């Protein structure tokens, strides 16, 4: 397992995904519709750090958005 992971990291391409493509990839993975082709592209193009940081930021934005929506609904009730 470890050897397979190391080989995968060594074979990573040097092409980087744009910020928009990273965000779209994370959003599609949130709802579970990301294709295997895009998943492979993501893992071979960028460092996992980019996906983790942007994924956490999008998660916090989602939670804050839901909280704000509930506050607005309860305020106008």
Contact in structure between 35 and 3 (CB atoms under 8 Å): no
Measured CA to CA, the distance from residue 28 to residue 38 in angstroms comes to 10
Average pLDDT over every residue of 3-23? 67
Measured CA to CA, the distance from residue 44 to residue 63 in angstroms comes to 29
- 16-58 pLDDT tens trace: 888 999 999 999 989 989 888 888 888 888 788 989 999 999 9
Confidence (pLDDT) at 44:
87
Measured CA to CA, the distance from residue 65 to residue 57 in angstroms comes to 12
- By the 10 Å C-beta count (0-12 exposed, 13-18 middle, 19+ buried), 19 is classed as exposed
Average pLDDT over every residue of 57-72? 97
Confidence (pLDDT) at 1:
54
Token pair of 41 as six digits: 């592209």
Token pair of 72 as six digits: 């607005």
The domains of the chain are located at 2-75
More confident residue, 67 or 9: 67
């Amino acid at each position: 397992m470890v050897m397979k992971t190391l080989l995968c990291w060594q074979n990573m391409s040097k092409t980087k995904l744009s910020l928009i493509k990273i965000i779209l990839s994370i959003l599609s993975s949130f709802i579970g519709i990301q294709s295997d082709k895009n998943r492979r592209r993501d893992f071979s193009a960028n460092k996992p750090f980019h996906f983790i940081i942007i994924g956490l930021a999008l998660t916090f934005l989602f939670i804050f958005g839901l909280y704000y929506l509930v506050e607005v609904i309860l305020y106008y009730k």
